Structure 1
Amino acid sequence: MRLQGKTAIVTGAASGIGRAIAERFANEGAKVALADLNAEAAEAAVEGIRGAGGEAMAVAMDVADEGAVNAGVQRVLDAWGKVDILVSNAGIQIVKPVEQFSYAEWRQMIAIHLDGAFLLTKACLPSMYANRFGRVIYMGSVHSKLASPLKAPYVAAKHALLGLARVVAKEGGPKGVTANVICPGFVRTPLVERQIPDLARQYGLSEEEVARTVMLKDTVDGEFTTVDDIAEIAVLFAAWPNAALTGQSLIASHGWCME
């Protein structure tokens, strides 16, 4: 098992990509803290992991609240003594043109996607530095590389995660910490499912047309990326044995974005 003896925090872990990563980490031997605003759903996910023989805990956390982040990380430290792996995955989506975004909506999106990543990193790094080992993984997007209409704060935040990862990689490298970004294409999670009707209204298309002609039109095979695809990449970054792989971003998008 590639993560035996490691402890991990995964945010937004009650469903979708975060849950798949948490389950895969547990299968690979890690102790996993599933952090989510929805504590009840996180507990249900934890029970699933425990039922499969893994070790996990649920942590109620608003990633945009510094006090909640610090308390949640401290709970993991109190229980398991260290944090080896952080997966900053929590996110939401609001779809509308720039001029229709309220400032409050902009701030909410930036707070969850970018401020949350910063707060979690800041809270976890002291343990990683003390143990001379850490793997910081940010959930970016193809929108870390490309822009799409109607997603200004999301695209801005996902672009910014690349810069944050590169700084953490530079600062953390001498102390045994790597930082990388996963950049998925469209994954059919609850977050994406909620986007489809919004985009259908904005573009005047059917929901099926949105999936086919907006979301998947530039893929090589017309297929959604899966949560299992992304979980496998998370294990790759988490288990990588040295700093040869740091400050990088890995795109998994069925060819939608290539570099």
Structure 2
Amino acid sequence: MKLKDKVCIVTGSASGIGRAIAARYVGEGARVAIADLKREVSDATAADLTASGPGEAIGLAMDVTSEDAVNAGVAAVVEKWGRVDVLVSNAGVQIVHKIEDFPFEDWKKMLSIHLDGAFLTTKACMPHMKRQGGGALIYMGSVHSHEASPLKSAYVTAKHGLLGLARVVAKEGGPHGVRSNVICPGFVKTPLVEKQIPEQAKALGISEEEVVKRVMLGGTVDTEFTTIEDVAEVALFLAGFETNALTGQSLMVSHGWGMR
């Protein structure tokens, strides 16, 4: 098992991509903290994953935009398991508007969840990783960490920002064996993406079918959605890659959209 007894924190992991990553980690023997907004939902997910084994999971209530909540959650993990080996900063939301119609409060909310959340969880985990001599920090970026799309000014800005954070963390963490990388998925058919389809159809004045075929999948090599399992496999690879040979990088998981 690739992650046997490794201690992992995955934010936004009660559902969607985060849950798939947590499940993959538990399946490889890890101890995983399911960090999400509602404790009862996190606990339920943790119970389901623990039952499937061979690793185990616990639930945490964590608002990643709150420094107190983040610090308390990381402290609880360290108190229970003694260390933090892997952080997956995955929590995120999507709000789409034309830039002239984008409410400032929504702009700030988007940047806070994606960027403040990544910063605060990194800040809380880094001292433990340095002290123990290594760790992996994994940020959930997007093809939009490199590309741009209409209606997504806040999202694209936030996802671009994660590249900069990861590169600085790689420089600061490298001497201590702490690696940082960014996963950049294409469109993954989660509730977050499904919600965008009618929103973009309305904003762009096109059909929902056109949104899927042209806007979302038009740049792929096979007009296929990326799956949550695809992303989880890359997250497993990055968590288990234990040298600085792979750090400060972004990996596209996108069916060829945004090739680099």
Same topology, TM > 0.5: yes
Residue of structure 1 in register with 2:90 after alignment: 89
Residue of structure 2 in register with 1:180 after alignment: 181
1:22 equivalenced with 2:26 (yes/no)? no
Q: Distance in 2 between matches of 1:197 and 1:91?
A: 19
Q: Cα offset for 1:127?
A: 0.6
Q: Distance in 1 between matches of 2:19 and 2:158?
A: 22
Q: Cα offset for 1:44?
A: 2.1
How does 1:69-218 map onto structure 2 within 5 Å? 69-218=70-219
How does 1:56-75 map onto structure 2 within 5 Å? 56-75=57-76
Could you tell me which runs of 5 or more consecutive residues in structure 2 were left unpaired when the two chains were aligned.
none
Q: Distance in 2 between matches of 1:146 and 1:237?
A: 22
Q: Cα offset for 1:206?
A: 2.5
Residue of structure 2 in register with 1:38 after alignment: 38
1:51 equivalenced with 2:51 (yes/no)? yes
Q: Cα offset for 1:208?
A: 2.3
Q: Cα offset for 1:204?
A: 2.0
Q: Distance in 2 between matches of 1:32 and 1:88?
A: 13
Q: Cα offset for 1:176?
A: 0.8
Deviation per residue, 1:127-176 (Å, 9 max, x gap): 10010011000000000000111000110010010010000000000001
Secondary structure at 1:87's aligned position in 2? strand
TM-score between both structures, scaled by the size of structure 1 = 0.98
Residue of structure 1 in register with 2:253 after alignment: 252
Secondary structure at 2:144's aligned position in 1? helix
Residue of structure 2 in register with 1:241 after alignment: 242
Question: What amino acid maps onto 2:211 in structure 1?
Answer: V
Could you tell me which runs of 5 or more consecutive residues in structure 1 were left unpaired when the two chains were aligned.
none
Question: What amino acid maps onto 1:112 in structure 2?
Answer: I
Q: Cα offset for 1:30?
A: 0.7
Q: How well do the aligned residues superpose, as a CA RMSD in angstroms?
A: 0.8
Farther off after superposition, 7-16 or 47-56 = 47-56
Deviation per residue, 1:79-104 (Å, 9 max, x gap): 11111100000000000011111211
Identity %: 61
Q: Cα offset for 1:190?
A: 1.4
Q: Distance in 1 between matches of 2:49 and 2:30?
A: 11
Q: Distance in 2 between matches of 1:95 and 1:39?
A: 28
Q: Distance in 2 between matches of 1:83 and 1:241?
A: 14
Residue of structure 1 in register with 2:222 after alignment: 221
Deviation per residue, 1:57-116 (Å, 9 max, x gap): 010111011111111111111111111100000000000011111211111000000010
Question: What amino acid maps onto 2:110 in structure 1?
Answer: M
Q: Distance in 2 between matches of 1:193 and 1:58?
A: 26
Question: What amino acid maps onto 1:96 in structure 2?
Answer: H
Q: Distance in 2 between matches of 1:208 and 1:38?
A: 34
Secondary structure at 1:34's aligned position in 2? strand
TM-score between both structures, scaled by the size of structure 2 = 0.98
Q: Kindly report structure 1 stretches of 4+ aligned residues shifted beyond 4 Å.
A: none
Q: Cα offset for 1:38?
A: 3.0
